[in-house]
Amino acid sequence: MPATAPAWAQIDPLTVPHIVTDTIPGPRSEQLNARAMRHMIGYSSQVKLCPVAFESGHGVTLTDVDGNRYIDFSSGIYVTTLGHCHPKVSEAVARHAHSLMNCHDFNTPVKAALLEKLAQIQPWDLTGMQLYDSGTTAVEAGLRVCRAATGKTEFISCFMDFHGKTGHAVSLGKMNATNGPGRSQGFYMVPRPYPYRPLFTRADGTIDTDAYIDFYAEFIDNATTGNVAAFVLEPVQGWAGSVVPPDDFFPKLRSLCQERGILLMADEVLTSMGRTGAYLCMEHWDTPADVVTLGKGFGNGFPVTAMLVSERYRESIDKISASTSYGGNPMACAAALASIEAIEEEGLLENALQLGDFFIQRMEALKAAHPLVGDVRGIGCLLGIELVKDRSTKEPFTEAGQRVYRRAFEKGLAWVPAGHILRMSPPIVMEEAVAGRGMDIIEEAIAEVEAELGYA
């Protein structure tokens, strides 16, 4: 059964993309960027590679200030999971913007309704909750809860995970000269299974998940003080390029954590609320976490995030001074509640899974036809294409990734770069026909770059 879209988001696939300027970015984008960039510094790689200026969005499309209309394969970097300006979400935010914007952490009817809805849709016993306004704030709060719950102080995270841009969240991720020179005391990193580039393999060359778990046990014994509060991981790595672990990884990691008295914290800021076809990505492996963070698609673009804690440790939230100035304000709660209701009413979890099946089929065909493509992967609407110079060596090809990204953007596809890995996170309200148009553009761009680089 092909993926469909709710009536409000339906679009004639023959009308998108629609490019009206001779160059991308167009002249008005150039002018607007010149004004803004005199003052603002630190733009993302998306903007630096193709600096268009957007004016509006509807459903699965974006329109820039020059009138060019793009198919959106980015969702505002995984945020507008339900499409741009979803009418239910927009109406809910507007209604509360006219009635009550903020009252610190006092309760409101819409907050109570949101908390009850979260309790209803969470699959395990994540009954302790707190609301925030950014993913990194929720992650920091989760770390404090893990410390309060266990009385331990150390954390283990994984290579290529990304957890935010504040002090301890940064310490969970890759260091560089600016973020370093070292991570905060008591933070450690270990490799995690990367099916395309496995560190531990069996004799037949397949990935050996048991070897990773055995390494973690040795690492805890020999590289930490034995005072580990939690393992902190993304269920599917986003920044790293939509890396999906083997199916047995999280169940085995959960067992190790239980044996060692270590909590499992799942950072689902990127993967939650339908992105992978489930409310929580960890549901795909039927593996409960003790602490979970939500964000990005939680409010479909409105800044609202959450931390959920297992019933066993919920009282620890009271020990960490958990409240924030903006977390749980009425507009934020309204956006999150409306987003969950839209997912339910429009059958969007199933649509995300159907879209995922379609994308995987198209990407596998892409891989078979194009030597630049080393690996394709994904789950639901969280997808990645990895470009390599040579399939036998798997050498990353960053220049090719940048060229393909720009070329597809110029053809009308707004999406997410990650060096040699091209990331896709289309809204889960997308129809299969529109998804197919986007994949056609990607294949055209790859073919053109292959010809330029002498691969065709």
Residue 361 within any structural domain of the chain = no
Q: Determine the pLDDT at residue 178.
A: 59
Residue 45 within any structural domain of the chain = no
- DSSP β-bridge partners for residue 306: 131, 294
> With the C-alpha atoms ordered 370, 372, 375, 381, is the resulting torsion angle positive or negative?
negative
- DSSP β-bridge partners for residue 155: 187, 230
> With the C-alpha atoms ordered 4, 10, 15, 16, is the resulting torsion angle positive or negative?
negative
User: Quick check: 13 and 434 in contact, CB under 8 A?
Assistant: yes
Q: Which helix (H) or strand (E) holds 408?
A: helix 398-410
Residue 420 within any structural domain of the chain = no
Q: Is 156 helix (H, G, I), strand (E, B) or coil?
A: strand
Q: Determine the pLDDT at residue 180.
A: 53
Residue 376 within any structural domain of the chain = no
Residue 9 within any structural domain of the chain = no
Q: Is 90 helix (H, G, I), strand (E, B) or coil?
A: helix
- In 183-324, which ranges are E strands? 187-190, 228-233, 263-268, 291-294, 305-309
Q: Which helix (H) or strand (E) holds 116?
A: helix 109-121
Q: Structural domain of residue 198, as residue ranges?
A: 88-342
The residue among 352, 415, 417, 377 whose CA lies nearest residue 82 is: 352
User: Quick check: 45 and 440 in contact, CB under 8 A?
Assistant: no
Q: Which residues of 135-152 are buried (b: 16+ CB within 10 A; e: fewer)?
A: bbbbbbbbbbbbbbbbeb
Q: Determine the pLDDT at residue 11.
A: 95
pLDDT digits (tens, 9 = 90+) for 321-361: 999 999 999 999 999 999 999 999 999 999 999 999 999 99
As a whole number of angstroms, the distance between CA 126 and CA 123 comes to 8
Residue 421 within any structural domain of the chain = no
Residue 253 within any structural domain of the chain = yes
User: Quick check: 215 and 190 in contact, CB under 8 A?
Assistant: yes
Residue with tokens 């069996």: 202
Residue 173 within any structural domain of the chain = yes
- Report field, pTM of the whole predicted structure over 0.85: yes
Q: Over its length of 456 residues, how does the chain's per-residue pLDDT go in tens digits?
A: 678 889 999 999 999 999 999 999 999 999 999 999 999 999 988 889 899 999 999 999 999 999 999 999 999 999 999 999 999 999 999 999 999 999 999 999 999 999 999 999 999 999 999 999 999 999 999 999 999 999 999 999 999 998 888 878 887 887 565 555 456 789 999 999 999 999 999 999 899 999 999 999 999 999 999 999 999 999 999 989 999 999 999 999 999 999 999 999 999 999 999 999 999 999 999 999 999 999 999 999 999 999 999 999 999 999 999 999 999 999 999 999 999 999 999 999 999 999 999 999 999 999 999 999 999 999 999 999 999 999 999 999 999 999 999 999 999 999 988 689 999 999 999 999 999 999 999 999 999 999 999 986
Q: In total, how many domains does the chain have?
A: 1
Q: Determine the pLDDT at residue 3.
A: 81
Distance of CA 388 to the CA centre of its chain: 23
CATH classification of the domain holding 224: 3.40.640.10
Angle between helices 249-260 and 209-223 (to 10 degrees): 30
